[in-house]
Amino acid sequence: MTRTAIWKSIADTLGAEIAEGLYRPGDKLPTEAAFAARFGVNRHTVRQALAALAASGTVHARRGAGVFVTARPTDYALGRRVRFHQNVSASGRTPSRRITRLETRPATRREAEGLRLAPGALVQVIEGVSLADGQPLATFRSVFDAARFPALLAAMEAQSSVTAALAACGVTDYTRAETRITAKLATPLQALALQVPEGAAVLRSTAVNVDAVGVAVEYGVTWFAGDRVTLTVAPEAMTVMGLS
């Protein structure tokens, strides 16, 4: 007779308990040691079971924090005004951002075209990871005209918010002029930042934001973890996205 592997039986048991709501989305699971004691197995066997649940998207591990039940996808609205903190807060989650890069450098061809700058013009670059309830939701790169916003990086260090940093530099409002969404596969570095398997589905959003008189302010690229976000398009944004 063929016997079911113990790790698979544990994975099936935990999966059923999660499905029944004994562990809710966002909950932290007990430790490997606790599961090992519960099932009478070693921690390696528990690790195999948790790895199987992670591969199926049921749970996810946060380095140094533990293993958590995968939360339901976060609704993320794409409209004339796209604000990360507002979108995540509206979904009932707690937003946060981890900034990984603040740098002034020459613009790439696409960045220069998006911002209507001369080839090689200097730009301010802000990169980081956007999180919802501590779980990585997306990585992002925001690019701005350095000549127009010479103090932006210093403002970003003080504010930790693109909207607040722009306000400190004189731009109190900006709207979305264009958004393009493309399905991609996570690169090794993206997978590490998003805590997803290499090659997992990601949604790349390329956008241009403009000020009140229509001058390009920001050229941004965001890579969303495909299974953690539901992008919703407001009617007024359909023309901007070329969907009307």
pLDDT of residue 6: 93
Tell me which of 3.30.310.50, 3.40.1410.10, 1.10.3720.10, 3.40.50.11400 is the CATH number of domain 74-237: 3.40.1410.10
| Domain boundaries defined on the chain | 6-69, 74-237
The reply to whether domains 6-69 and 74-237 share a CATH topology is no
pLDDT (tens place) for every residue of the chain, 244 residues total: 446 789 999 999 998 898 888 988 778 999 999 999 999 999 999 999 999 888 877 888 877 888 988 867 777 777 777 777 787 787 777 888 999 999 999 999 999 999 999 999 999 999 999 988 788 889 999 999 999 999 999 999 988 789 999 999 999 999 999 899 999 999 999 999 988 878 888 999 999 999 999 999 999 999 998 877 887 876 555 444 544 3
For the question of whether the overall pTM of this predicted structure is more than 0.85, the answer is no
Decide: residue 218, CB within 10 A, 0-12 exposed, 13-18 middle, 19+ buried.
Answer: buried
Decide: residue 128, CB within 10 A, 0-12 exposed, 13-18 middle, 19+ buried.
Answer: buried
Q: How do 216-225 and 135-145 pair as beta strands?
A: antiparallel
Q: Which CATH architecture has domain 6-69?
A: Orthogonal Bundle (1.10)
